[in-house]
C-alpha cells in the first residue's frame, strides 16, 4: 500500500517550475509604462520627439551639485558681510532654565534693589513695548528672560547679538513680575546714559525751553506720571535731586509708559550741581500752593482768590524772622521769592519748574535757587479748605501752562514777521 502512494506523490510533483505566461506579459507592460518614450507617433502620422531626461546622479553628487548651484545664485545677490534679517540667518541661540531655578530668582531680586542698580549700573525692564522703546533709543541689553520664542523674535535681530537669551516658564515670570498680567518677557539692561541715548526726532523737534526739577518726590507712581507729563509737554530735560525715588525703579518705569526713553533724565543730583545742567539765563520757579508770604505778597486776599495755604510750610513759621545778635535787627530766614499766579506770564526766559513731594514739600535749596535766578513761586488756585493738589497733577498743570504760554509767544512772533 505504500508503493502506490509514493508513485502518486511523484506524479503530482513537477520536475521544473512552471511560469505562467500572463505573469510574464504583465511584467513587460509594467516595465514599458516606467519607460519614457523617445518618439510618439500619432494616428495622423505626426511624429513628436521627446527629450531624454538626464541620467540620475548619486545622492551625494546631487546634493553637492545643488549646494554649489545655490552658492552661485546667492553670490551675486549679496556679500557675506550683509547683516542677517531673520532669526534663522543670524544663528542666535537660547538656553532653557529649569522651573524654580534659584540663580535666576536671585538675579531678579538683586536687580530690583536700588543699591545694586547704582553700583552695577543695571536696570530691569518688563513688557514688549517698553523693551522695544529702550532698544530703539539705544539702551544696551544684557539678558532677556522670555516664556515664548515669538516674544523674542519680535525684537530687532541686530540688537540681540551678544545678549544672553534664557527661556523660562511663564509661572516663573509671574513670580518675578510686579504686573497683574505679565507679558512674558523681561530684560536686564545697562543703566542708560542720557548723553548716549537716541531720543525720537519728533520729541526733539517739539522740545521747549522748559525744564523740570523734581525735589523730594518719594512716590514711584507720582514720579512716573510726572515724567510722562514732562515728555508730553515737551520738556527739554528732567532733573532729579537726591531724596527722590529712583527713576529706574520698576514701578516708576511702569507708570512712565516709555517716557524714560523720550526725554533726558538726570538722576540723583546734589543741589549745588543743579545749576550746571540749566541753560544760561534760566529762571527757576517753585510750585507752591501758598508759601509763607503768599497772603502778604498777593494784591488780594487768599479767602477771595481761593488760594489754599500748604500746611507743610507752617513748620518754618518760627524761623520766619531771626534777630541779629549784633545789631538787634530782624532778618528773614527763608528766601523771599515773590509769589504769582500760575497763569501769569513766567516763560519770557528759559524756565525750570520745581515740583516737591507731597510729604516733605520743596527743600530750602530750591527756594534759594529760585531767588538767585530771579524766579518766583507759582500758585495754583484751589477752593478754600481743600488740601494741596497731588504732585503729579500740579506738575501737569504747570508744564502745560508753560507750553501754552510759549505757543502763544511763537504765534505772536510769526504774525509780526508776516506783517513785516
Q: 297-328: per-residue pLDDT in tens?
A: 443 433 333 333 444 443 343 344 445 555 55
Give the count of beta carbons closer than 10 Å to the beta carbon of residue 190: 14
pLDDT, tens only, 103-157: 676 677 777 788 888 888 889 999 999 999 999 999 999 999 999 999 999 999 8
Maximum mean pLDDT: which of 34-43, 337-346, 381-390: 337-346
Q: Cβ–Cβ contacts within 10 Å for residue 108, how many?
A: 18
Please provide the distance, in angstroms rounded to a whole number, between the alpha carbons at the two ends of the chain: 143
* Entry pTM: 0.70
- Looking at per-residue pLDDT, the higher value among 50 and 408 belongs to 408
Sorting pLDDT into bands at 50, 70 and 90, what band is 235? Answer: very high
Stretch among 34-43, 250-259, 375-384 having the lowest mean pLDDT = 34-43
Cα(110)–Cα(112) distance, rounded to whole angstroms? 5
- pLDDT tens figures, 88-115: 566 788 888 876 676 676 677 777 788 8
**In the block, which residue shows the cell 488760594?**
307
Average pLDDT over the chain reads 77
Of residues 390 and 76, more confidently modeled: 390
pLDDT at position 176 over 80: yes
DSSP, collapsed to helix, strand or coil, labels residue 100 as coil
**DSSP strand E in 74-193: where?**
95-96, 122-126, 141-146, 164-167, 185-190
CB 298 within 8 Å of CB 369:
no
- Tell me which of 174 and 258 has the higher pLDDT: 258
Average pLDDT over residues 63-88: 48
Q: If DSSP codes are grouped into helix, strand and coil, which group holds residue 39?
A: strand
Q: What is the pLDDT of residue 58?
A: 53
For residues 47-56, average pLDDT: 59
Amino acid at each position: 500500500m505504500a508503493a502506490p502512494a509514493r508513485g502518486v506523490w511523484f506524479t503530482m510533483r513537477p520536475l521544473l517550475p512552471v511560469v505562467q505566461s500572463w505573469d510574464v506579459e504583465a511584467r513587460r507592460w509594467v516595465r514599458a509604462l516606467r519607460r519614457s518614450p523617445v518618439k510618439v507617433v500619432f494616428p495622423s502620422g505626426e511624429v513628436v520627439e521627446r527629450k531624454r531626461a538626464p541620467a540620475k546622479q548619486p545622492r551625494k553628487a546631487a546634493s553637492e551639485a545643488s549646494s554649489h548651484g545655490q552658492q552661485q545664485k546667492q553670490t551675486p545677490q549679496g556679500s557675506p558681510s550683509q547683516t542677517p534679517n531673520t532669526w534663522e540667518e543670524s544663528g542666535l541661540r537660547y538656553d532653557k532654565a529649569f522651573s524654580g531655578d534659584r540663580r535666576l530668582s536671585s538675579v531678579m531680586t538683586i536687580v530690583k534693589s536700588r543699591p545694586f542698580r547704582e553700583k552695577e549700573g543695571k536696570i530691569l525692564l518688563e513688557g514688549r513695548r517698553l523693551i522695544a522703546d529702550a532698544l530703539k533709543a539705544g539702551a544696551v541689553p544684557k539678558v532677556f528672560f522670555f516664556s515664548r520664542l515669538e516674544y523674542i523674535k519680535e525684537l530687532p535681530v541686530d540688537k540681540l547679538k551678544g545678549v544672553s537669551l534664557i527661556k523660562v516658564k511663564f509661572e516663573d515670570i509671574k513670580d518675578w513680575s510686579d504686573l497683574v498680567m505679565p507679558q512674558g518677557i523681561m530684560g536686564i539692561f545697562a543703566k542708560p546714559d542720557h548723553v548716549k541715548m537716541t531720543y525720537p526726532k519728533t520729541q526733539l523737534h517739539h522740545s521747549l525751553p522748559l525744564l523740570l526739577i523734581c525735589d523730594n518726590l518719594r512716590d514711584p507712581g507720582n514720579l512716573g506720571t510726572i515724567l510722562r507729563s514732562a515728555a508730553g509737554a515737551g520738556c527739554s530735560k528732567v532733573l532729579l535731586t537726591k531724596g527722590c525715588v529712583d527713576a529706574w525703579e520698576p514701578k516708576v518705569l511702569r507708570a512712565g509708559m516709555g517716557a524714560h526713553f523720550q526725554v533726558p533724565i538726570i538722576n540723583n543730583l546734589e543741589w549745588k550741581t543743579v545749576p550746571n545742567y540749566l541753560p544760561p539765563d534760566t529762571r527757576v520757579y517753585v510750585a507752591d500752593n501758598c508759601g509763607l508770604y503768599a497772603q502778604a505778597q498777593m494784591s488780594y486776599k487768599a479767602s477771595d482768590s481761593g488760594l489754599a495755604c500748604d500746611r507743610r510750610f507752617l513748620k518754618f513759621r518760627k524761623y520766619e524772622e531771626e534777630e541779629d545778635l549784633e545789631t538787634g535787627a530782624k532778618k528773614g530766614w527763608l528766601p523771599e521769592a515773590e509769589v504769582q499766579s500760575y497763569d501769569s506770564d513766567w516763560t519770557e526766559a528759559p524756565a525750570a519748574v520745581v515740583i516737591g513731594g507731597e510729604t516733605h514739600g520743596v527743600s530750602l535749596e530750591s527756594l534759594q535757587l529760585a531767588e538767585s535766578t530771579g524766579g518766583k513761586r507759582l500758585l495754583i488756585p484751589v477752593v478754600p479748605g481743600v488740601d494741596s493738589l497731588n504732585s503729579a497733577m500740579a506738575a501737569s498743570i504747570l508744564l502745560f501752562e508753560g507750553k501754552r504760554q510759549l505757543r502763544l509767544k511763537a504765534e505772536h512772533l510769526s504774525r509780526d514777521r508776516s506783517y513785516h
